């Protein structure tokens, strides 16, 4: 049963890779989400596959897996929120710091699971608030997927559910809106008409 679980979990990490790869392909311009969520989940998917197939590869990937797991847990949502609030410098910085603190603590061996859960919950609440104010239904779906991946899936004891939860969150996240900092492209990736020239006085 344990070996079957590892195979299923490896496949789930490959699914995460595929979804994250599509997220990367949809991003253009300056974006925290690109390395913070999409590329992060892609790397975590690759390392997760290798970790759960370490017997086949005759290598121990547990250290790398712990690092990418911590990054996937603490950096993804804050980076997404930093991009959603790209026009508000204060909120953008606060969200980024909220992810960096538990990540650095975890990596240095001083992790606090309770603090990490509180930070994740705050980012999910912030995402719900943003979704309500801006009428973004995919924001609600992303928040629900985050609750499932970070809180519900680990409680089941089924290893396969965590990477699948991350894949669902990733799928929803790149539909919240296409993060774009080009003035000629709107938040959904559609080209805006060029601005009309100002009339001469």
Residue 184, pLDDT above cutoff 70: no
End-to-end CA distance of the chain: 79
Per residue in 112-151, pLDDT (tens digit) is 999 999 999 999 999 999 999 988 899 999 999 999 999 9
Is 106 inside any structural domain?
yes
Is 125 inside any structural domain?
yes
Give me the mean pLDDT over the 68-92 stretch: 92
d(CA 11, CA 6): 9
**Cβ-based neighbour number of residue 18 at 10 Å:** 14
Is 59 inside any structural domain?
yes
Is 45 inside any structural domain?
yes
Q: What is the DSSP string of 22-68?
A: HHHHT--SS-SHIIIIIIHHHHHHHHHHHHHTHHHHT---HHHHHHH
Write down the mean pLDDT value for the chain.
85
* CA R_g for the chain: 18
Is 195 inside any structural domain?
no
pTM of the model: 0.82
Nearest to 188 by CA among 123, 131, 136: 136
**pLDDT of amino acid 53:** 86
Is 184 inside any structural domain?
no
Quote the number of domains for the chain.
1
d(CA 118, CA 97): 14
Sorting pLDDT into bands at 50, 70 and 90, what band is 43?
Answer: very high
Is 187 inside any structural domain?
no
Structural domain boundaries enclosing 59: 2-176
Is 200 inside any structural domain?
no
Residue 19, pLDDT above cutoff 60: yes
Q: Which has more pLDDT, 201 or 137?
A: 137
Residue 188, pLDDT above cutoff 80: no
- Contact criterion met (CB below 8 Å) for 179 and 31: yes
Q: What is the DSSP string of the chain?
A: -HHHHHHHHHHHHHHHHHHHHHHHHT--SS-SHIIIIIIHHHHHHHHHHHHHTHHHHT---HHHHHHHHHHHHHTHHHHHHHHHTTT-HHHHHHHHHHHHHHHHHHHTT---HHHHHHHHHHHHHHHHHHHHHHT-HHHHHHHHHHHIIIIIHHHHT-TTHHHHHHHHHHHHHHHH------TTB-TTSPBPPPPPPPPP-
């Amino acid at each position: 049963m344990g070996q079957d679980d590892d195979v299923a979990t490896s496949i789930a990490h490959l699914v995460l890779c595929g979804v994250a790869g599509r997220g990367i392909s949809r991003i253009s311009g300056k974006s925290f989400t690109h390395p913070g969520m999409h590329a992060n989940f892609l790397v975590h998917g690759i390392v997760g596959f290798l970790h759960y197939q370490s017997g086949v590869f005759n290598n121990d990937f547990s250290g790398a897996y712990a690092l990418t797991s911590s990054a996937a847990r603490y950096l993804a949502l804050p980076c997404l929120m930093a991009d959603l609030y790209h026009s508000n410098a204060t909120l953008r910085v606060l969200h980024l710091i909220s992810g960096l603190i538990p990540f650095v603590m975890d990596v240095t061996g001083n992790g606090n699971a309770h603090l990490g859960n509180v930070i994740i919950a705050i980012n999910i609440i912030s995402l719900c608030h943003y979704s309500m104010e801006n009428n973004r239904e995919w924001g609600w779906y992303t928040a629900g997927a985050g609750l499932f991946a970070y809180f519900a899936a680990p409680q089941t004891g089924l290893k396969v559910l965590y990477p699948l939860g991350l894949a669902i969150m990733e799928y929803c996240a790149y539909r919240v809106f296409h993060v774009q900092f080009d003035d000629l492209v709107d938040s959904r990736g559609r080209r805006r008409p060029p601005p009309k020239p100002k009339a001469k006085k």
